Amino acid sequence: MFPRIRRALVVDDAKPMRQLIRIALGSFHCRDVIEVEDGTLAFGAANIVSLEDGELKDGSTDIVFLDWMMPMLDGIACTKLIRSGGLDGFDAEVPIVMVTARTEDECERAALDAGVTVFVRKPVSLRSLSAAIAEALTKTSQKIRA
């Protein structure tokens, strides 16, 4: 059984990719998906207070999806900022799934070294995104139990 995903943050400059990730998150019963197109907008968006089941909930984020190549602030820089701790709306251990067109093995190593939980190469499908979500949640819950 996976932890519940209450809120997800999807940061990708391509709207169709954000929509596909949103659909994949729906299979994990995630109702609060925040979509932004640039890394510079991610941190403010994560602090939005939401209304869930009639109650205000804090802006904590349960999973983050990042594209590598975005204008202004790329996915690697976002990952490093999240992992540094101290950002409102983010636990430094939040699962981060990088979905990218960067297919080189050295890019995957760089992303994992920066703190990405799961690295997914584009093109993607609903199946590969769902598998990535499950893998990220499994890795994170194992870390918490250890």
Ordered by where they begin, the domains of the chain are 7-41+60-145 (3.40.50.2300)
Q: What is the mean pLDDT of residues 1-18?
A: 88
Which residue has better confidence, 55 or 81? 81
What number is the average pLDDT over the span 75-99?
A: 90
Considering the entire predicted model, what is its pTM?
0.88
Structure-model confidence comparison of residues 31 and 99, the more confident one: 99
What's the length of the chain? 146
Categorize the per-residue pLDDT at 46 as very low, low, confident or very high, splitting at 50, 70 and 90.
low
Residue 91 contacts residue 60 (beta carbons within 8 Å): yes
Q: What is the pLDDT of residue 111?
A: 97
87 pLDDT above the threshold of 80: no
CA 82, CA 110: separation in Å to the nearest integer?
Answer: 16
Per-residue confidence band for 54, with pLDDT thresholds at 50, 70 and 90: very low
CB-CB contact of 6 with 57 (8 Å): yes
Distance CA 136, CA 111 (A): 14
* Torsion angle, alpha carbons of 127, 16, 5, 111, to 10: 80
Residue of 144, 8, 11, 9 whose CA lies nearest to 76:
11
User: For residue 94, what are the contacts with CB-CB under 8 A and spacing of at least 6?
Assistant: 61, 62, 63, 64, 82, 140
pLDDT at residue 146 in the model? 46
Q: pLDDT by residue (tens digit) across 108-141? A: 999 999 999 999 999 999 999 999 999 999 997 7
Does the pLDDT of residue 75 top 50, yes or no?
yes
pLDDT at 143: 60
Tell me the mean pLDDT in the region 16-33.
94
